[in-house]
Amino acid sequence: MEYNRTEPRRIPLNDLLKAWVFLVVLTVLGYVLSMIHSPALVYVGPLIIAALILFKARIILKSYLGLTRCPAWLSMLTSMIIAITAICAGLLTYVAAGFL
C-alpha cells in the first residue's frame, strides 16, 4: 500500500516576520493604552483592547497556523473568538463603569 505524501506548503519567512512585527506593535499599543488614565477610556478601553485581541488572534490563525488553506476552520474559529471577545469586553466595560 502506497501513501502519496504531499509536502507541506511553507510560509515565506518574510511574511512571518511581518506578522510577528505587527503582533508586537499591537501588543505595545495595548500596553500603552492600558497606561493612559482617562475617564473616556473607562468605557472604551476594554472594547479597544478586545479589538486588538481579535486582530492578534486572526494574525496568528492565518500566518502561523496556516488556516488560509482551510477557510471553514478559519471562519469557525474567528466566529468563536469574536463571540468570546465580545462577551469579555462587555463584562469588562460593565465592571469598569462601576455598575456592579
Q: Which of 44, 51, 42 is nearest to 96 (CA)?
A: 42
97 torsion bin: left (phi>0), alpha (psi -120 to 50), beta (else): alpha
* Domain ranges across the chain: 13-96
Amino acid identity of residue 37, one-letter, is H
3-class state of residue 95 by DSSP? helix
* Residue keyed to cell 481579535: 54
- pTM (2 decimals)? 0.71
Could you report the per-residue pLDDT of 54-88, keeping only the tens digit for each?
899 989 988 888 888 888 998 999 899 889 888 88
Cα–Cα distances in angstroms (integers) from residue 25 to residues 19, 45, 47, in the given order:
10, 17, 18
pLDDT band at 11 (very low <50, low <70, confident <90, very high): low
- Kindly state the DSSP code that residue 1 receives in the 8-state scheme: -
Could you report the per-residue pLDDT of 25-54, keeping only the tens digit for each?
999 998 888 888 888 777 777 778 888 888
